[in-house]
Structure 1
């Protein structure tokens, strides 16, 4: 099979469109820098906190509707071991995350004007511990980069007969270039273009897939064995706890990742931040439907009648490439090109976001807060550029690992759910939490999760939870392992925090040994609380003061 010239031309035009949009948007970033409207970090990483509602909704949806999302949904529906019950978890849980974040987290986080979500940890625990959590969250973003690129590489190699390696590196390079040039502004505006292409392109493919002559009616195959097991099947009693575990993991794990909060913190106002989350939730559901339908059609196809022939993709072990195979075999050639363009848009809309998120965490919470506290704006800008190149190349290199797309996606979300989510809840809602509890909770959660095993990473099961069984010579956990480890992290954080607070406040251990400054930080918290109470009591007397900082500023001026 020769290279598809028309398809390659179409992809080149797409890349030029996205790159041109990114460069055009970067001019706005350059104007901000020239006018010195804000510091370099806010301009590059948060778009000077000026993202409006429309752009915000598109960039929020596009970030989570990436290549792993689009291709992985189809793979999950098609796989007889999973089907719709498992695939539907992904869009529903992410949308639930948006709703929960919109109602409870978006406004308070935006009001505090953080640069990253880890700033909440820095304010409470100090720079050292916040640096540890920054590394953990950076790992999540780096792991998510290959999940999106792998879906693109498989798709383009099938439909356009291009090299898997070349497809990945070209797409990653384009994403890195416009992110490097314009920061969040370029990312947000290219997301608007990419999200439009994803939505229009995927829905354009659906009618052709549903009416192709090689597939049976998907409503018939939904519950009946036709060419393979039905794509709608009940969850077995031995897997129900794992299903619940995945649902909780995907729902709450997304609430503890920087990608979400970068959109929230860049919004033009707190109200806009909340609306972005609430509107993006149903939009993401709409974007997931085409991928699910493609998986259903693939399940209902008699592959022996197509040029692909027998055995089926599942029997050949090509389940991870089912979307490009279905587009190639079941739609006209020009429609398959539209489909691959949509996948490419989905990939690039996430890759740029993951890279920018990881860079934000490193520069704001490690480089600026720990390594170079006196760094100038110019130095910060260079640090951002260097880390963008480094992390972009690192994440892209991981795409050549022989690992399932969905395994990497769930692994990244697992890091945020097991390690970060309970810690974020403690930081925001439990005054008793401190550095000792945070470190112990993180340690216990990590040890338990490692001992629980992870088949996708080749980690053996050492700690057997109830229901653990030996299947084909390998132990398989059927308990909600991630949730158990998350709760142990959460509970141990609060218990150890309480114990450490008592020990130092009662003088059992001298204060000079308090390396995390529990006693002094609690005193500072009480002072801040007292000041905030004073502001509330005298709000009517000081109408122009809307926060504690503004009151302090007025007092200093006087």
Structure 2
């Protein structure tokens, strides 16, 4: 391990902790801790949303998938780009205006309760439970990715690598809350972007240029450059269905709630989609160039678990130790930028949606902030236990597998409810509750039945989950009571503010 790479890593980590300390001084109440006082500009909103969205999947999972399967991985990326654009277009500004109108809601469960006047608080509790359950899996995927990075870079054991990564991430999320998370994600997003531009360009130059690179990949297996290679109709639907997940990801849509104003959304959308498009293309090219470059190396085509290290190998062999340290820090950025957001949303669910709603209704802001901070520790510890049992080298799930499950869970449970609550005035509390439960349960059950071979075909669980949740929302809303006049008036006000 080069001392230069180690120094670069340490400087990067210290920088993240400094942002956490500065943000600590700027955080005085729960709204600051959970939503940054709705003060984010378009650049920070866009890049922090993108960085928290992509996680270790962008620098480990996607390059690994492209390395293992070739250009057919593009179907997932097309679905994600379409889904992200539609999310920015139809959810961002409407959710920003509606959460402010709906009693200044600061969390997703808070919005559901206020939107549908749920005095029994069942909507808040069920949605907060869904957040806690699926985010433990999501956060554990990032911790697995971080452990693989530290393990490969520093030669330490998986368990030690897992512990170090967890301590750093918990520290600045604990201190600074939403502002720390958003600003660190902004800088991490820039670093990820630069890494995914630099690495594929240098790799292509090393292989003799674009034409030679394409010829080398084709010579190894023509199927690597065939988007339909080994693909079925259901396979393409499953990959593109990842785009459906965007509408229900709490750690992404809270950025929409936190942007300074509705007028800033178009600018943020442009920044976010540009960042995402270039980053995804870069990640795929990293995987494809790795096929000929590491033809004689210990990476294994077809084995996604091993292939997820392709970016790490490139950072090590293409650059001097100082640059290598920066590129490896980019992977850590991708990991940290998602876990910190997930921990923050989960801790806000504990503080605002359980502690204040059920235990201490008169709890003050400072008390709730500290409940949130300690919630970060508790949730992170559960994720660490899951990650400890999930070492891919010992048969645990890959980063991509863990992300897939959590992404599908949120997309099916919250996506239809968010969309319909923003655009259908007739939707009521029973429809929202039925949609959340139906979506979440379908994802869990479908995944189990598929693994047990009871369902004889492979279809990403978000597809049936999303469809059935939509059906449940419509059916239960129509057979239930019509929403009261006050709810209709609030809906109209939110729409007017969005125009």
Structure 2 length-normalised TM: 0.86
Kindly tell me the number of residue pairs found equivalent between the two proteins: 485
* Correspondence 1:101-500 to 2 at 5 A: 101-102=91-92, 104-112=94-102, 113-123=104-114, 124=116, 125-126=118-119, 127-212=121-206, 217-221=212-216, 224=218, 226-228=219-221, 230-235=223-228, 239-248=232-241, 250-273=242-265, 275-301=267-293, 303-304=295-296, 308=297, 312=300, 314=302, 318-400=306-388, 401=390, 402-454=396-448, 459-462=451-454, 464=455, 475-478=456-459, 482-500=462-480
CA deviations 1:166-185 (Å, max 9, x no partner) are 33322322221112112111
Checking the alignment, whether the CA contact within 8 Å between 2:409 and 2:462 is kept in structure 1 is no
Counterpart Cα distance in 1 of 2:255 and 2:220: 44
Specify whether residues 106 and 340 from structure 1 end up closer, same or farther in structure 2 by C-alpha distance, changes over 3 A only. Answer: same
SS for the counterpart of 1:25 is helix
Specify whether residues 294 and 110 from structure 1 end up closer, same or farther in structure 2 by C-alpha distance, changes over 3 A only. Answer: farther
**CA apart distance, 1:93:** 4.1
Checking the alignment, whether the CA contact within 8 Å between 1:84 and 1:232 is kept in structure 2 is no
Counterpart Cα distance in 1 of 2:452 and 2:21: 47
Specify whether residues 4 and 372 from structure 1 end up closer, same or farther in structure 2 by C-alpha distance, changes over 3 A only. Answer: same
**CA apart distance, 1:315:** 6.6
**Aligned equivalent of 1:64:** 53
CA deviations 1:337-374 (Å, max 9, x no partner) are 33212111221122211111111222222222233212
Q: Which has the higher contact order (CA 8 A, sep 6+)?
A: 2
**CA apart distance, 1:415:** 0.8
Counterpart Cα distance in 2 of 1:297 and 1:319: 12
**CA apart distance, 1:445:** 4.2
Counterpart Cα distance in 2 of 1:143 and 1:117: 19
CA deviations 1:366-394 (Å, max 9, x no partner) are 22223321212232122112101111222
Checking the alignment, whether the CA contact within 8 Å between 2:70 and 2:224 is kept in structure 1 is no
Checking the alignment, whether the CA contact within 8 Å between 1:228 and 1:300 is kept in structure 2 is no
Checking the alignment, whether the CA contact within 8 Å between 1:217 and 1:300 is kept in structure 2 is no
Counterpart Cα distance in 1 of 2:133 and 2:223: 37
Structure 1 length-normalised TM: 0.78
Checking the alignment, whether the CA contact within 8 Å between 1:205 and 1:331 is kept in structure 2 is no
Checking the alignment, whether the CA contact within 8 Å between 1:426 and 1:433 is kept in structure 2 is yes
Q: What RMSD, in angstroms, separates the aligned Cα atoms of the two structures? A: 3.2
Counterpart Cα distance in 1 of 2:170 and 2:475: 44
Counterpart Cα distance in 2 of 1:316 and 1:365: 38
Counterpart Cα distance in 2 of 1:448 and 1:186: 35
**CA apart distance, 1:297:** 0.8
Counterpart Cα distance in 2 of 1:110 and 1:530: 14
Counterpart Cα distance in 1 of 2:79 and 2:63: 11
Counterpart Cα distance in 1 of 2:436 and 2:183: 37
1:15 to 10, 13, 24: 13
**Aligned equivalent of 1:89:** 78
Checking the alignment, whether the CA contact within 8 Å between 1:209 and 1:331 is kept in structure 2 is no
Specify whether residues 529 and 358 from structure 1 end up closer, same or farther in structure 2 by C-alpha distance, changes over 3 A only. Answer: same
The structure richer in helix per residue is 2
**Aligned equivalent of 1:516:** none
**CA apart distance, 1:90:** 6.3
